[in-house]
Amino acid sequence: MALFALKRLGSMILVLFAVSVLTFLIFNVLPSGDPAVRMAGKQPTETQIEAIRVEWGFDQPIYVQYEKTMQNMFSGDMISYFNQLNVVEEIWKGVPRTFALAIGAAIIWMAFAIALGVWSAMRAGGVSDGMLNVFALIGISMPVFWLGALMNQYLGFELTQILGFELFPNGGYVEFSVSPFEWFHHLLLPWFALSVLFIGFYSRVLRANILETMDEDYVRTARAKGLSERRVMLSHVLRNSMISVVTLWGLDFAVVVGGGAILTETVFNLQGVGQYAADAIGQLDQPPIMAVTMFGAFFVVFFNALIDIVYAALDPRIRLQDGDTAL
């Protein structure tokens, strides 16, 4: 087991390295525009551009620039091209907000998906199953930023005008330490906006899994030995139907933290990590976008490795896959 974990972490480090190189190349080789020219403002002189080039190290060979970039990122010295703010500090400011959004949404989407998935599997082929299917399909077909913008406008803004009090706030984020209630209050709409897509997707997967599991022999056995339908459903069918859904849950959570929340954060102005990158797009300010891209990919890679190790600890068969029979 320890060997498996070590191997998995080793391959993780290789992928992280490759990810950092690819990200660096995307931002430093692809754009044919010279960042020094853009930073120098309108109608710069050749000497001004040259000075910026030397100051930021754009005149150095590419591998030196890569080394410098990584050094800056890990020592927390990376500076934005445009507002001169420290990029790493800005990302750390956004991390608790992004996590608050992702964790709450993950709980909501799982709870709803289980409820709806079980409901429609029990009534498979019926009217309510069909309706839920249609809703799920609409849910996965909606652009989250559009849904979020409409929720923010109509539930957050207009509804407040009509009611005379704030049932839902109109965007923004309140620190948990300032007011736990307002924190929760401000995250409600974003949580649901982000969850809709996943509720649609997960409830469908779970429904299919449940229907498949119900055909299994051990379910027939459980029924035959006289267990109540409720018992059969909960401890035999649902338990086994949840395995693949829980795996998806872990992967999707990583993706949402790693960047999937960017649109929700932006629409509700939560000032998370993703929004930091989104705000930098308008100015074509590369360091924040590059740093957030690396942050996102790093988190996804790290979290996936973690999931693999946890699964290997739970299920010995996984340790023996991929030809690692010697383990």
Partner 1 sequence: MSEKNDLRLSGTADKPVSDLEAFAEPPAVTVEGSGGQSPWRLAARRLRKRRFALFMGAVFVLLVLVMAAAPLWAEHVAHTSPNENHLSDQIDVGGEKINVVGLDGVPIGPTWRGEFFLGADGNGRDVAVRLLYGGRNSLIIGLSAALITLLLGLTTGLLAGYFRGWTDSFLSRIMDILWAFPVILLGIALGTSLALGGLKLGPVSISGGSLAIPIFVIAIVYIPYLARPIRGEVLSLREKEFVEAARAQGMGPFRLIHSEILPNVVSTGLVFFPLLVANAILLEAALSFLGAGVQPPEPSWGTMIDEGVARIVTAPALAIVPGMMIVITVLSLNVFGEAVRDALDPRAKVRIEH
CB of 175 to partner 1, least distance (A): 26
- Position 297 contacts partner 1 (CB under 8 A): yes
The residue within the footprint of partner 1, chosen from 113, 151, 278, 312 (CB under 8 A), is 278
* Binding residues with partner 1: total (CB under 8 A): 51
Kindly give, in sequence order, each residue whose CB lies less than 8 Å from that of residue 211, ignoring residues fewer than 6 positions away: 121, 124
CA pair distance 35, 32, nearest whole angstrom: 9
- Position 159 contacts partner 1 (CB under 8 A): no
**Tokens 């999707």 label which residue?**
252
- Position 307 contacts partner 1 (CB under 8 A): no
- Position 189 contacts partner 1 (CB under 8 A): no
CB atoms within 10 A of CB 107: 12
- Position 105 contacts partner 1 (CB under 8 A): no
Residues forming a β-bridge with 86: 79
Residues 26-55 that bind partner 1 (CB under 8 A): 26-27, 30-33
The residue within the footprint of partner 1, chosen from 146, 179, 220, 239 (CB under 8 A), is 146
Q: Which is nearer to partner 1, 15 or 159 (CB)?
A: 15
CB of 43 to partner 1, least distance (A): 19
CB atoms within 10 A of CB 29: 9
Tokens of 117: 């998935």
The residue within the footprint of partner 1, chosen from 100, 121, 286, 319 (CB under 8 A), is 286
Q: Which is nearer to partner 1, 108 or 290 (CB)?
A: 290
Q: Which is nearer to partner 1, 104 or 274 (CB)?
A: 274
- Where helices occur in the chain by DSSP H, the ranges are 2-28, 35-39, 46-56, 62-75, 87-122, 127-140, 144-151, 159-163, 180-214, 217-224, 229-231, 239-255, 262-268, 273-283, 286-314, 316-319
Distances (CA, A) of 47 to 36, 59, 81: 11, 14, 18
- Position 263 contacts partner 1 (CB under 8 A): yes
CB of 291 to partner 1, least distance (A): 11
User: Of the candidates 232, 234, 208, which has an alpha carbon nearest to the alpha carbon of residue 218?
Assistant: 232
Q: Which is nearer to partner 1, 234 or 246 (CB)?
A: 246
The residue within the footprint of partner 1, chosen from 5, 79, 103, 149 (CB under 8 A), is 149
CA pair distance 322, 7, nearest whole angstrom: 12
Amino acid at site 150: L
Site string for partner 1, 196-235 (x = CB under 8 A): -x--------------------------------------
The residue within the footprint of partner 1, chosen from 296, 308, 312, 319 (CB under 8 A), is 296
Q: Which is nearer to partner 1, 8 or 183 (CB)?
A: 8
DSSP per residue over 183-231, as a string?
Answer: HHHHHHHHHHHHHHHHHHHHHHHHHHHHHHHHTSHHHHHHHHTT--HHH
- Position 138 contacts partner 1 (CB under 8 A): yes
- Would you tell me which residues interact with partner 1 (CB under 8 A)? 15, 18-19, 22-23, 26-27, 30-33, 137-138, 140-147, 149-150, 153, 157, 197, 248, 252, 255, 258-260, 262-263, 266-267, 277-278, 281-282, 284, 286, 289-290, 292-293, 296-297, 300-301, 304
